[in-house]
Amino acid sequence: MEFARKIITNSLWLYGSEIVNKILMFFFIIYLARKLGAEQFGLYTFAISFTLLFMGLINLGMNSLFIRDIARDKEKLLDYHNHILVFRLAASFVCFVIINLLIYILGYDTKTFFIVLFFSIYLIISTFTQLYVSFFRIYEEMQYEAIIRTVEKLFLIIPGLLLLFLGYGLYSISLLYIFSTIVALLLSLYYTRKRYTKIHFYYKQEIMKDIIKRAMPFALFAVFYDIYFRVDVTILNLLEGNVATGLYGSATRITEVFLFIPQIFSRASFPSISNIYKNMQQYLSFVYTKSIKFLLLLIIPVAFFTLIFSEKIVFLFYGSEFIGTSSALVFLMFAMVFIFINTISMHFLISTNNEKKTSLLIAVLAVFNVIFNLILIPYLHIRGAALATLLTELIGFFVTFYLIKKYYDINPVQWYMLKLVVLSALIAYVTHFFAFLNIFVLGAIFAILYLSNIFVLRIIEKDEITLLKSLFLPQGMKK
């Protein structure tokens, strides 16, 4: 199937670069946390999370609208680009003022003010990079996005490690973030002009009004999505301070290693699913159910492994200063199971013109997340923030499954899910008897037991193995 091959090809480019980038960034963040300590790492975590709360207000969902509509009709490319660019310039200025005004009003100290100021500049520049990266997704040439993301990370990580080694602190690192995203923006502009079109500017009021109107459902999704995923850190920082934020941030950095998997898969498949919905609706169930299955095969065993060995994992990466975050890590990793499912489900709904329902769902979940955090953090501290995330994702899981069953007659609940949970739980129980071993040895034992049993129990079926071969092997090798 050509559409399936296209999704996999695009995913491989993005997965390849993201795997490299995530590994590099993960170890960079670990080194950063160890050098800064819990309190300063908490400030770093807060500054990034607080500024990212405003990402949706700057983008206003226009990137998603741009990709979806231009993937269907490329004649409108310059219309969309020019007017989105104008809107983004205005929105960036307004959000920059609001971000820094709020920090001043909330009474944060001078250092926090300047760190947030620097990261707000980084945020604004990166939103323009995202606009031009959208061109690569529209034309489904993800290799250019992969190159840009990798170069950006290298310009951040290599000088960053050197600065930290030489004793420089958070000011230098925040300025380096700005420099690296400027490099990414320049590269994205270069590839856009070289590959697709020589951009010439024009502006029409009626086009702007139409784009804003069409973007509104995406805008609600984007704004509430950022609140949904980022508000916990802000509330935790306001209620508990930088040390608690640093501990919580160290746990979220571990789970974010896995978060890119459903995000990349969704980004790569978005244009293709949009096309399938328009021209080949009979394949929707196939694409959705297989996507969920392959992703759950990855994340469920990781969650159960973390349940048993969370303290070993935290100590390995961060040392004894951060050991208090191990219980929060367990909650967050099980939340990640539902995040995997919900990410695919929500992008599926958006790709099939149900962005209004998805936006409403995200808004409701954002409200629940705020309420859960305000209730649980004063009593359970960082565990409360993690539990709030898990409860919110669980609600999202039930609602998205209901919507997909109702509107597409697709049954997302499959028998293999229970088998996966039981298998992973049993293997976790067995491996805990070997807790005295090195964490890498434990991981290897768990992986061997898991991989062998998913075939024995026929959790992966023959047709799925055939599908994977057809997607990855050259044409001549399939016979």
- Asked if 301 and 223 count as a contact pair (C-beta separation under 8 A), the reply is no
| pLDDT for res 8 | 58
| pLDDT for res 476 | 42
For the chain, domain boundaries: 2-413
Sign of the torsion formed by the C-alpha atoms of 401, 406, 407 and 409: positive
Residue 116 CA to residue 53 CA, distance in Å, equals 12
DSSP sequence for 77-103: HHHHHHHHHHHHHHHHHHHHHHHHHHH
Token readout for 214 is 């069409």
| pLDDT for res 6 | 57
| pLDDT for res 445 | 96
Residue 367 CA to residue 440 CA, distance in Å, equals 40
- Asked if 174 and 53 count as a contact pair (C-beta separation under 8 A), the reply is no
pLDDT tens digits in sequence order for the chain, 479 residues long: 555 555 556 566 666 777 888 889 999 999 999 999 999 999 999 999 999 999 888 988 888 777 777 767 777 777 777 888 888 999 999 999 999 999 999 999 999 999 999 999 999 999 999 888 887 777 767 778 888 888 999 999 999 999 999 999 999 999 999 999 999 999 988 888 777 666 667 777 888 888 888 888 778 777 888 888 889 999 999 999 999 999 999 999 999 888 878 877 776 555 555 555 555 555 667 777 777 888 899 999 999 999 999 999 999 999 889 999 999 999 999 999 999 999 888 888 877 777 778 888 989 999 999 999 999 999 999 999 999 999 999 999 999 988 888 877 777 667 788 889 999 999 999 999 999 999 999 999 999 999 999 888 878 776 666 655 554 444 444 44
Q: For residues 276-290, b (16+ Cβ closer than 10 Å) or e, as one string? A: bbeeeeebbeebbee
Residue 403 CA to residue 349 CA, distance in Å, equals 9
Burial of 205 (C-beta count, 10 Å sphere; 0-12/13-18/19+): exposed
